[in-house]
Structure 1
Amino acid sequence: MPIDPQASPAYRPETTLLTLGDAFFDPVTAADFPDTMLRFRNDRAAAQVGLAGLDDAEWARHFGRFAPLPDTLPGPLALRYHGHQFRNYNPDLGDGRGFTFAQMRDDRGRLMDLGTKGSGQTPWSRAGDGRLTLKGGVREILATEMLEALNVPTSRTLSLIETGERLQRGDEPSPTRSAVLVRLNHSHVRIGTFQRLAYERDEASLRKLVGYTLRNLYDEDSDDPVRLLDRVVARTARLAARYMAAGFVHGVLNSDNINVTGESFDYGPWRFAPTWDPGFTAAYFDHEGLYAFGRQPEAIHWDVMQLAVSLRPLAESEPLITALDTFGPRYQTEVSEAILWRLGVQPSDPDGDRALVQATELALRTTGSSLDRFFFDAFGGDLPPEYGAPWDDVRTRLAGYAARKDRAHPYWSGSPCSMLIDEVESIWSGIADHDDWGALEAKIAVIRAMGAALA
């Protein structure tokens, strides 16, 4: 059934993006796909923005054909931005296979975007076909579900629709099946959005974007660029810390892939690290390990530095540098909290928390233990006896901590939920070879059970 804003109070449409003006985006038209086969709908996320009442036909009409939702944006908008890609500046970016096509408030009052991936060509496609492989969509579902369960600020995959096209790709067997994905995100304003305006010396638009971001994404009535940088530093330090606690490697932490709300999104060559290996990489083309597991805090800090540079036309250097320099201390606080959260214990004093985290990282690195197995076994602070001498320091320190949650949930009676590459490939193989979606559905259920046990 269609959405009726009068009868659906949970649906709270917005058109806030339009206040930025035409200099920030290009109106585009979605691709006309041969088919729209619904493969995944996230009713849990949809309920938070008043969209769960759509039947499957209406769902496909809005999220496969992109019929406008009531009272929000009149049509799709491809956002303009620049960015550093592996530290090389690229002024020829922008939404090349996606667009923003709706805005609304969620049940927490946050302004949310509905954005796409694989929805067709735009002025920024740079000779690309604007499409998404079905495998890429399945991988994004798995990444977002797992990260949400592990307390990482992330976009959520709202919808995946198979589109009936056969795509040619150079890095995987072709032809391959195609899809269009819709994500629910707390903003698609990126560091690269600011970089474009600084590059073009458009100070008026830069100031407008600062005010838009603070008012609509941080609920602060301000247009102070230093205040904005401070907020982004805090959010991105939290993101970096939670990546580490989750054992997650994004793979492509370019400045156009970091949004200003510190919410992770756009999952290409991601991986979960099996062990605490700082050199573990996700992207086969990351030859220098720039975005390796252990270098992610450095990479995100470097990206935020580019935001500070972009804000320089609006503020003096000294207060921007002061705000930027808080990233390290904030990250240290956040990583302690994130790892203690995953250990299932209550924070104590900051020095003791840091010492526990350092002992945990050392034991994980030197023993090569499974990250997921360790955090499963240690949840609640009681490390089993099979963890021998290398874990003595961790065991002693954990003994002084109170559990933040018991192990009563049925999840704890089974095995730890992991998301390593072999399982990802196995789930995809079932779909590719037999059109069997059962393994994906079962995995999502296990991930959500883990999320409930950890929450």
Structure 2
Amino acid sequence: MSFHSSISLSSRFSELPHSFFTKVTPQPLNNTRWVAWNNTFAAQFGLPEQAPQGDLKLFLAGEMISDEFPSLAMKYAGHQFGVYNPELGDGRGLLLGELANHDGRFFDVHLKGAGLTPYSRMGDGRAVLRSTIREYLCSEAMAGLGIPTTRALGMLTSDTPVYREKMEQGALLIRMSESHIRFGHFEHFFYTNQLAELKLLADKVIEWYWPECLESDKPYVAMFESVVDKTANMIAYWQAYGFAHGVMNTDNMSILGQTFDYGPFGFLDDYEPGYICNHSDYQGRYAFDQQPRIALWNLSALAHALSPLIEKPDLEAVLAKFETKLGGYFSQLMRSKLGLHCKLEQDSQLFQAMFELLHQNRVDYTRFMRELSNLDHRDPQVVVDLFIDRDAAKAWLDLYLARCECETDDDAKPVSEEARCTSMRAVNPKYILRNYLAQLAIEKAEQGDFSEVNALAELLKKPYDEQPDMEHYASLPPEWGKKMEISCSS
């Protein structure tokens, strides 16, 4: 089925046995219309620059389905807040097919909010405008920051009413991902003792995403190593950039280590290691500082599901590498953010003292890192004034600046302050998606004004640039906008 001379739909997942999915026809919303169209991302697939109308719009809105590639609701399971739930699957999303970008990489086209499926449980299979805006904006924010993530082609709203805590507008997100396979897919086949299907899934994951694993003496071990490595890299980015996911269930963990299923997420405002963004997380299982531990827990759950294919000693050996990999990636990212590329023995103490100061003084994490990047043209007092305890802040800053003087380039020449700060500004954003900014955009959109959604989406594509006309988006949040706890329905 072709909608454009340069693109065509395919569907490798639909070639798998029916135990992997259920064919479901989307339930169209009433009077769908575009809220946002991600034109720069769409261009990678040869899609039109303007939000499409006609057959392509009808297809993306679930109003016209390919005869050749029916829409699919994937079946999987997962551990939710540590408790195994076998009744999971695509409860409000459908896999429409896949498109290849200009580089030949395949991306799933997934319609979120398409209506009831056999896996909707007690839900209605719908998405609301509020939650759809949040996912659209955050996936763009993460992509702009360079953090592994799913993306979205765009989103639509409608006249269909959907009830959550109140009556809201039904909406659709067109999510794009190189894979929608989750840890929970493997768990489903393991716990239902469908071992042939478990092996087939692993074989397809290797074929589609990790073909280099076939060169290994133990391809399944190599595959698991790749998953562990990519997950460690993703978590390192989250911790370095102050991102809290909020719902790290195993059914929300991508096999490719890409940030997946945005719900009650949040970027840190004041640096608070124990920040909880999900108001349903009463015990703080998914608090910001728990994410590395939970990632390892989730990988251990995946390892258990892979035990029919991989010997226990091999699984344990791969899992044992996770913390070292995570530490290495995190250290590399933080060194770049602080402009310290040479490794010196005292660096770990400098880093630890910085995090403790930020926590004790409730300093805004993003603002601090950006101001530290501007010392080539700003008075150091600007950094000191971010802290309540200015004496302690000045003492740390003096140590940091003295440490910076030890930096040398590849030719063993001293690194200038200008060169250091320029490189730091390329990795310390001026703009992030603060929850209060998303909330303001949502409130306008619910009144029919989508301008703020689109302005934020464009801003967040270039979070490291100054963008003088957008300066107000870099302001610190008002008190009501700090540490917002978001519900899973968001």
State how far apart, in whole Å, the 2-side matches of 1:447 and 1:106 are: 22
State how far apart, in whole Å, the 1-side matches of 2:126 and 2:36 are: 18
In structure 1, the residue matched to 2:412 is none
Residue 330 of structure 1: which of 316, 325, 335 is its match? 325
Deviation at 1:41, TM superposition (A): 0.8
In structure 2, the residue matched to 1:18 is 14
Does structure 2 conserve the Cα–Cα contact (< 8 Å) formed by 1:380 and 1:407?
A: no
**2:212 aligns to what SS in structure 1?**
coil
**1:276 aligns to what SS in structure 2?**
coil
Higher alpha-carbon deviation: 87-96 or 44-53: 44-53
State how far apart, in whole Å, the 2-side matches of 1:340 and 1:42 are: 33
**1:256 aligns to what SS in structure 2?**
helix
Residue 136 of structure 1: which of 121, 131, 146 is its match? 131
1:28 is matched by which residue type in structure 2? Answer: V
2:365 is matched by which residue type in structure 1? Answer: L
In structure 2, the residue matched to 1:438 is 451
State how far apart, in whole Å, the 2-side matches of 1:354 and 1:381 are: 22
Does structure 2 conserve the Cα–Cα contact (< 8 Å) formed by 1:154 and 1:264?
A: yes
Deviation at 1:346, TM superposition (A): 6.4
State how far apart, in whole Å, the 1-side matches of 2:246 and 2:452 are: 25
Residue 461 of structure 2: which of 429, 445, 448 is its match? 448
1:370 is matched by which residue type in structure 2? Answer: D
2:341 equivalent to 1:347: yes
In structure 2, the residue matched to 1:423 is 437
CA separation of 1:229/1:443 partners in 2, compared to 1, >3 Å: closer, same or farther? same
2:141 equivalent to 1:149: no
Deviation at 1:206, TM superposition (A): 1.0
In structure 1, the residue matched to 2:302 is 307
1:205 is matched by which residue type in structure 2? Answer: E
**1:48 aligns to what SS in structure 2?**
helix
2:310 equivalent to 1:318: no
2:202 equivalent to 1:206: no
State how far apart, in whole Å, the 1-side matches of 2:398 and 2:424 are: 26
**1:160 aligns to what SS in structure 2?**
strand
2:200 is matched by which residue type in structure 1? Answer: K
CA separation of 1:341/1:115 partners in 2, compared to 1, >3 Å: closer, same or farther? farther
**2:91 aligns to what SS in structure 1?**
coil
Larger Rg: 1 or 2?
Answer: 2
State how far apart, in whole Å, the 1-side matches of 2:36 and 2:203 are: 36
In structure 2, the residue matched to 1:67 is 64
Deviation at 1:316, TM superposition (A): 1.1
Does structure 2 conserve the Cα–Cα contact (< 8 Å) formed by 1:38 and 1:60?
A: no
Does structure 2 conserve the Cα–Cα contact (< 8 Å) formed by 1:163 and 1:178?
A: yes
**1:99 aligns to what SS in structure 2?**
strand
State how far apart, in whole Å, the 1-side matches of 2:251 and 2:402 are: 43
Deviation at 1:355, TM superposition (A): 5.3
2:177 equivalent to 1:181: no
Higher alpha-carbon deviation: 242-251 or 88-97: 242-251
1:443 is matched by which residue type in structure 2? Answer: L
Does structure 1 conserve the Cα–Cα contact (< 8 Å) formed by 2:432 and 2:463?
A: no
| CA deviation string 1:76-100 (max 9, x = no partner) | 1111100000000000000000011
**2:456 aligns to what SS in structure 1?**
helix
Does structure 2 conserve the Cα–Cα contact (< 8 Å) formed by 1:417 and 1:450?
A: yes
**1:165 aligns to what SS in structure 2?**
strand
Deviation at 1:69, TM superposition (A): 6.4
**1:137 aligns to what SS in structure 2?**
helix
* C-alpha RMSD over aligned residues: 2.7
What TM-score results when the alignment is normalised by the length of structure 1? Answer: 0.89
CA separation of 1:265/1:226 partners in 2, compared to 1, >3 Å: closer, same or farther? same
User: % of aligned pairs identical?
Assistant: 29
- Structure with the larger RCO, 1 or 2 (CA within 8 Å, 6+ apart): 2
**1:450 aligns to what SS in structure 2?**
coil
CA separation of 1:350/1:54 partners in 2, compared to 1, >3 Å: closer, same or farther? farther
Does structure 2 conserve the Cα–Cα contact (< 8 Å) formed by 1:167 and 1:175?
A: yes
Aligned residue pairs, count: 440
**1:56 aligns to what SS in structure 2?**
coil
In structure 2, the residue matched to 1:216 is 208
State how far apart, in whole Å, the 2-side matches of 1:13 and 1:220 are: 26
Deviation at 1:400, TM superposition (A): 3.7
State how far apart, in whole Å, the 1-side matches of 2:249 and 2:41 are: 27
Deviation at 1:408, TM superposition (A): 12
In structure 2, the residue matched to 1:112 is 107
State how far apart, in whole Å, the 2-side matches of 1:266 and 1:195 are: 18
**1:362 aligns to what SS in structure 2?**
helix
Gaps of at least 5 residues in structure 1 are none
Deviation at 1:441, TM superposition (A): 2.1
Equivalent runs, 1:47-62 vs 2, <5 Å: 47-52=43-48, 56-58=52-54, 59-62=56-59
Does structure 2 conserve the Cα–Cα contact (< 8 Å) formed by 1:381 and 1:399?
A: no
| CA deviation string 1:262-298 (max 9, x = no partner) | 0011111111111221110111010111000111111
In structure 1, the residue matched to 2:187 is 195
